Chains A and B, each alone.
Chain A
C-alpha cells in the first residue's frame, strides 16, 4: 500500500461506524512462529476478510523498534517479558495481552531413525552441544534449566556452543558442527512426530514454560482487524494449527 494513502484509510477507519471491509494488518512475529502464522493467514483471510502482512525477526529487535514507533499493529513475541514491558510502557492496547502458544523444547540430532536420550549428552566428550543463548533466547534459558535439572551443568559447561537464536542453534546441529542441540520442537516436528532427524521431546516439567505472548499495539487500538486477529488466534481452528506445528496452547 502506498504510504501516502495510509492516513486516508485510517481516517476512514476512525470515522466509520460500519464494519470495515478487507484491511491489511501488519504483524511483527518472532522468527520461531512464522511457519504456523503463514499456515493461518489464508484461514484468517477466508474467515475475516483481512490480509496479514508479516514482519519476521528477533523479539529483542522488535521490542526496541516498537519503542521507537515502528508501524506494527500486532506483536507476536517469543517470550512473555517483552510484551509485558511494552504494556507497562503504555504502548499496547490495555487488556490485549495473552499467551498464544507455549513452546516445547527438543533434544535433536540430524540423523533420522536414531534413538535420542538425555544420557547421550555425555556419551562423547569430544562433541559439541548446541543451545540458544540463555541470556537472550527463551529456548536457551529453557535448555539451560533442563541441563541443570539433569545435573549436567558442570559436565557440559565446556562443550556448549550458543546460537544467538533458536534458528541458528538448529543450524549448528544441522551442519554437523554440533552433535546434538536443544532446539524448538516446532522446528523439527510436524503433527506430533519428528519430521527431520531424530528428537527427544523434552518433558514440559523439566523447564519453566516457554510462554509466547501477543499484544495489540496502541497504533491499532481502533483497528477492528487487529481485534479480529487476536480473537482468531484464540479460536479452535487457530489452536489446531498451532499444535500441529509443535506448540502447546493454554
Chain B
C-alpha cells in the first residue's frame, strides 16, 4: 500500500451513563483491538468513528482524509465515510436474500481502490450455498459471515467490527476466526476490532487500545500493552504475553514442532502449519517459572535465557509479577514472594525462564 492510512482520532461524547473521551493513533495496517470491560465505551468509540453518534465531537482522520473536525466544521455523514461496519448482531436486511444483501453493498460501494469482488467475498466467507436464502433461515454464525462479506463488499478503507462473534456459537466462532486472521493480508486496510475476549484479541490483534470507563488507558503493540505492569491487564488471572513466532521444524517422531522467535525457540505439540508459517504463541504468567541456572533435571521442556527488567506487586499479596526480557521479546512470570526472596531476584539479573505451558494459534 503506497498510502499511509493510519487512523488518528480524538473524540468525545456524553452518554447518559458515561462520558467517553478517547484519543489514539492506530497503524495503517493490521488489526487494532479496542479492548476493555463491558461498559468501558468500546462500542461507542467504534460508533463515533463510523459517524453513527450524532452528538459526538472531535477529530477523525484516516491518512490524509479528514472525516470529522468539529472545530473546523467538518463532518462527513456515515454514508460518505469509506467504512465497513460489522455489528454485534448480524443485522442483515430481512426483506432481501443473502445475494441481495451483498448486492446492496456492492452497488453503493464508495471506492474501487481495494476492490473486493463479489466472488472473493463469497469464497472467503464460504457462503456460496447460502446465496438464495433469506436471513431468517440462517444460523447465527452464517448470518455473521454474510454480514462480514457484505461489509467487505462496501470496499472499505477502514473495517470496523463490533464483537462480531458474540452471537455465534463456539464451532462457528473458530471458523470465522480463521477467516478473520487472513483478512489483514487480503485487504491491506486497517481493522478496528472491538472485543472483551482475551482469546480473540491475542489471536487477531497486532495493536491494542485498552479502554476503561470511557478513556484510553494505553495504546500500543499488543504484547507491549499486555505486559505493562502499570496496567490492569498484567494483573488479571489471564495475564500473559503473546509472541510472534515461526514454525522452524516439525519433529514428527516426537510429535513436536519447533517454533523460533526473537528470543529463542520453543518446543510445542505438533502445529498444523507448514515450516516457515507465522504463528502466535500465548504464554500466561502463571505458566512461567524462574530458575537461577539452567535446570537439567526438570520435566519442563522449554528453558529460555532471560533478564529481569522489573519486579512488581500482584493483587494477591503472596505473589509478585516478574517482567522478563527474552531477546527482543517480553514475558511475564507470576511467582510467589517467598521464591522471589529465596532466589534474591532483582532487576538486571540474568535468569532462566521455565515455560510450562504454551498456547499456539
Touch between chains A and B, by CB atoms below 8 Å: no
B residues with CB within 8 A of A: none
A residues with CB within 8 A of B: none
